[in-house]
Structure 1
């Protein structure tokens, strides 16, 4: 289902349907990446616990958790969009600017250079998760900006 995005000049309800991205493809990509990350981390769990005292192990652990946070936050956003498109919730329920900004502060950090023990497969997973998260965060920021614009009180007439 494709809808034209609301014009920035027109005051429209954010509840009107519009497509932010090819949603299905992004959702499928996020789910696939989440499963890949889960499988990788599960397969290497024992190895990671044995190496916690080595240099870079804690940095790698932090980045693994940041990767997981990025993926979970992305899935949460995409599920919210899916719920809006299905008419289950409206944009007011899907947009939470305070949580978004707190998550962005955590998720945009990139300390992969400190992960000296990380495998190339893990580094590639981390990079893909970050790219996906950044796309989803931009989409959410766009919706939050549109929602805020649509709900701003009118300026007083002079």
Structure 2
């Protein structure tokens, strides 16, 4: 099975040296990580319900939600890039600066020391989701800056 994408669209409405790179590896990574996170959360859901420490449950829930938000936001951006590459939408439609700023405020927040009780598996997923989110957010910010000019 090949994961090649068609050449990047040259219909960008801005002039710059920013080139759209092929996103197949990043997309595949995002999709795989999203499925892995879903499987992890589903497998550990009943285990977490048995523990009755409401403070820990709140922190776990918050960090799980932040992790899934990062993954969903990364996937949304990568799907928008694919739509641009296919000529379905333009860059201006792919960028929503208001949503991007809200998401940045939520997703850039580092986890607190209160997360030390979380399992190594969840911490690993959270770290990888944050790294993926940071890469895609940088790409989106670059495109947003070029489109704004």
TM range (shorter): 0.7 to 0.9
Matches within 5 A, 1:68-147: 68-147=68-147
TM-score by length of 1: 0.81
TM-score by length of 2: 0.86
Could you tell me which residue of structure 1 aligns to residue 3 of structure 2?
none
Stretches of structure 2 lacking an aligned partner (at least 5 in a row): 1-5
> Using the alignment, how far apart are the partners of 1:28 and 1:112 within structure 2?
29
Query: In angstroms, what is the RMSD of aligned CA positions?
Result: 2.5
In the TM superposition, what is the alpha-carbon distance from 1:100 to its structure 2 partner? 0.2
Could you tell me which residue of structure 2 aligns to residue 39 of structure 1?
39
> Using the alignment, how far apart are the partners of 1:78 and 1:15 within structure 2?
21
> Using the alignment, how far apart are the partners of 2:14 and 2:80 within structure 1?
14
| Distance of aligned partners of 1:15 and 1:83 in 2 relative to their CA distance in 1, 3 Å threshold | farther
CA contact (8 A) 2:8 2:20 kept: no
2:19 is equivalent to residue 58 of structure 1: no
Stretches of structure 1 lacking an aligned partner (at least 5 in a row): 6-11, 150-158
> Using the alignment, how far apart are the partners of 2:53 and 2:93 within structure 1?
44
> Using the alignment, how far apart are the partners of 2:14 and 2:114 within structure 1?
42
Q: Could you say which structure has the higher helix fraction?
A: 2
CA contact (8 A) 2:9 2:84 kept: no
Give deviations 1:68-104, integer Å, cap 9, x for gaps. Answer: 0000000000000000000111111101111100000
Matches within 5 A, 1:21-32: 21-32=21-32
| Distance of aligned partners of 1:85 and 1:117 in 2 relative to their CA distance in 1, 3 Å threshold | same
- In the comparison of the two structures, how many residue pairs are matched? 143
In the TM superposition, what is the alpha-carbon distance from 1:14 to its structure 2 partner? 3.3
List structure 1 runs of 4+ shifted beyond 3 angstroms. 1-5, 18-22
